[in-house]
Amino acid sequence: MNSPSSILVTGGAGFIGSTFILDWLRPGAERSPIVNLDKLTYAGNPETLASIETSPLYTFAHGDICDADLVRSLLARHQPRAIVHFAAESHVDRSIVGPDAFLRTNIDGTFTLLQAARAYFQGLEGDKRKQFRFLHVSTDEVFGSLEANDPAFCETTPYSPKSPYAASKAASDHLVRAWAHTYGLPALITNCSNNYGPHQFPEKLIPLVLTYALRGKSLPIYGDGQQVRDWLYVGDHASAIRAVLDRGRLGETYNIGGNNQRSNLEVVLAICALLDELVPKSAYRPHRQLLTYVQDRPGHDRRYAINARKIERELGWRPAESFETGLRKTVQWYLDNTEWVERVTSGAYRDWEQTNYTDRGGARGSARDQMKADPEVTR
């Protein structure tokens, strides 16, 4: 049995959860025991956690957050002082093609966890009861889409989710708030902007563009490429979650963002420029020649932007990376870890590429086969 100061993480084999765990167990950090409950969907890669796999402080539980018996038994056995809930289906395009898994994991799964956490919390006494936290990791996409001049999302912005993914995350946030309000569950919610960094599954924009460009495949820009996202380096998200877990006020929501609004086109061009510099012998230089406009995402949110003043003011959290430093680190990591990419993108991922990109009129096959976009013209 782990000590009472352990924490239970869900979805810790995914992009952000694994970053959080590696940071939690890094030499010099707090290093209290951590239990990782993960179903290992296509997005979960235990290999990311290989360096801590045999640590006595790390326990992996392979399973589904919708499995109430499993969640109950993990809580009973490990007596965690907190649950940090990352597990989710997280890709908007997949939610459009097949929303079922999103409703199941993001809504039913969160409900299952909340019920188990509530029963567990009711049985706690004294300091253990005072200490306990349920931290729900959510997204800025619950707030919907901004126009160019709208102010950034703050914690009081009304929810207006537009995609099946965003709707399922909004539903889970509402459940967490209801469990805090009605049953007194000591919950916290974080709503973060788009993350990027090492170990991100290459279905998301930044790693997709990076890995395609390295192979000379055309780079699919949805619609006009002028959609704006507010990018945060994943290590900064992990440190923000730490701050909220340690010092966040119970029942509160904290928006997390890096104040790095960029259009998709700007992001892709920045990646291409870094690749031109870091892979000077590439046959595909200049990489920007690979840009290809493809059919837009249905219901595509135009702009997200986060006002992160509350977490800065109350908890003293600030991102350590600028977009430029974080992107450079990310590009270098993907250049150094091509085998990781090969392994995670084999098998079923190929089917997903087929599903998502074949009918968009671009992005498959070699660059020469595609109609090219001139980024200068549309900038």
Q: Which residues are catalytic?
A: 140-141, 165
> Cβ of residue 166: shortest distance to ligand TYD, in angstroms?
8
What are the residues binding ligand NAD (CB under 6 A)?
10-11, 13-17, 37-41, 43-44, 64-66, 86-90, 105, 109, 137, 139, 169, 192, 194-195, 201
Check residue 169 for interaction with ligand TYD (CB under 6 A).
no
Residue 348: CB atoms within 10 A of its CB come to 9
> Cβ of residue 258: shortest distance to ligand TYD, in angstroms?
14
Check residue 291 for interaction with ligand TYD (CB under 6 A).
no
**Could you tell me how far CA 127 lies from the centroid of its own chain?**
32
Residue 244 contact, options ligand TYD, ligand NAD, none, Cβ 5-8 Å cut-off depending on partner type: none
Rg of the chain in Å (alpha carbons): 21
Residue 265 region, left (φ>0) first, then alpha (ψ -120 to 50), else beta?
Answer: alpha
Cα separation of 202 and 356, whole Å? 13
Which amino acid, residue 318? R
N- to C-terminal Cα separation, the chain: 58
Q: Which is nearer to ligand TYD, 74 or 142 (CB)?
A: 142
Question: Binder to ligand TYD among 2, 41, 106, 194 (CB under 6 A)?
Answer: 194
* Structure tokens belonging to residue 377: 């013209």
Closest CA to 265 of 229, 213, 313: 229
Question: Binder to ligand TYD among 78, 85, 204, 217 (CB under 6 A)?
Answer: 204
Q: Which is nearer to ligand TYD, 9 or 206 (CB)?
A: 206
> Cβ of residue 226: shortest distance to ligand TYD, in angstroms?
9
**Could you tell me how far CA 37 lies from the centroid of its own chain?**
16
Closest CA to 6 of 74, 56, 81: 81
Question: Binder to ligand TYD among 94, 133, 229, 288 (CB under 6 A)?
Answer: 229
Residue 31: CB atoms within 10 A of its CB come to 12
> Cβ of residue 345: shortest distance to ligand NAD, in angstroms?
13
Residues in the chain: 379
Q: Which is nearer to ligand TYD, 92 or 238 (CB)?
A: 92
In contact, 18 and 199? CB cutoff 8 Å: yes
Question: 241 Cβ partners below 8 Å, 6+ apart?
Answer: 20, 84, 135, 137, 190, 256
Check residue 88 for interaction with ligand TYD (CB under 6 A).
no
Question: Binder to ligand TYD among 42, 183, 222, 349 (CB under 6 A)?
Answer: 222
- Residue 217 per-residue DSSP state: B
> Cβ of residue 4: shortest distance to ligand TYD, in angstroms?
37
Check residue 106 for interaction with ligand TYD (CB under 6 A).
no
Cα separation of 326 and 172, whole Å? 30
Q: Which is nearer to ligand NAD, 143 or 284 (CB)?
A: 143
Residue 192 contact, options ligand NAD, ligand TYD, none, Cβ 5-8 Å cut-off depending on partner type: ligand NAD
> Cβ of residue 43: shortest distance to ligand NAD, in angstroms?
3
Check residue 264 for interaction with ligand TYD (CB under 6 A).
yes
Residues that bind ligand TYD (CB under 6 A): 92, 194, 204-205, 208, 220-222, 227, 229, 264, 297
